[in-house]
Amino acid sequence: MTAEASQERGRARRLTWLASVGGVGLRVLASTWRVRWLNRAPLQAMRDAGHPVILVLWHGDLLPLLWFFRRQAIAILISEHGDGEVVARAALSLGNRTVRGSTTRGGNRAILALCRILDAGGDVAFTPDGPRGPAREFAPGALIASQRTGVPIVALGVAVTRGWRLSSWDAFLIPKPFARVTIAVGDPVAANAATAREAAALAPRFTALLNDTGAVAARA
């Protein structure tokens, strides 16, 4: 076995271990969280009627939303970077699907795959500032998917009564045990544009929309 193959096998073992331990830890921790939803009705009505949606959330808010949207077969765009592998395995273990790619690696292929899922009636989720930032800057992937399919975007914002923020680029949020997690849901808004380029130009509007949704959760 070559040194490179040995390193790759070791990396795969570490990722498997991290995903396994992380999954168990998340279930134990999240079982203590209490959730409060704000403006959930429009999203629920769309899903009850079988209309697909594009969920968007900042990368730093991913953990609690993975938990509270578990077992819903949502297709989540997750980076092909090594860090994304841990998140992907956690998402799969919680009953969702993954599409691998980002705006920098496999982006066009991933967006096409997500558009096919939307056209078939499935829901998808984007972290538009992932996988490595800049934090809270809206990359155009979700906007292009909405423009191509006509499916609306729904912003998700999160606030917690007690939590840790990691010193990572995205200030990754981990709610503490027994924290109340407030999830604010934005109204569905489509990226109405004639072309993908025009859709991408809507990024400032949707950045504000996502930030405003987070502010609603924080004020509640």
Q: Which domains does the chain have, with CATH numbers?
A: 3-219 (3.40.1130.10)
pLDDT given at position 14: 47
3-state SS class at 99? strand
Q: 62: which residues sit within 8 A by CB, 6+ positions away?
A: 87, 127, 172
Query: Angle at the Cα of 154 (from 150 to 158), degrees rounded to 5?
Result: 165
pLDDT given at position 217: 98
Query: Is the sign of the CA dihedral 133, 135, 138, 142 positive or negative?
Result: positive
- The whole model's pTM is what? 0.88
Rounded Cα distance between 142 and 107, Å, is 11
Rounded Cα distance between 169 and 156, Å, is 20
pLDDT given at position 1: 55
pLDDT given at position 72: 94
Does residue 88 contact residue 100 with C-beta atoms inside 8 Å?
Answer: yes
pLDDT given at position 2: 65
Distances (CA, A) of 41 to 25, 187, 214: 31, 9, 17
Does residue 73 contact residue 190 with C-beta atoms inside 8 Å?
Answer: no
pLDDT along the chain (220 residues), means of 10: 55 52 79 98 96 96 94 89 71 87 66 96 94 88 96 98 92 94 98 96 97 97
pLDDT given at position 86: 72
CA proximity to 58, closest of 159, 156, 148: 156
CA proximity to 113, closest of 89, 155, 74, 77: 77
pLDDT given at position 101: 74
Does residue 90 contact residue 63 with C-beta atoms inside 8 Å?
Answer: no
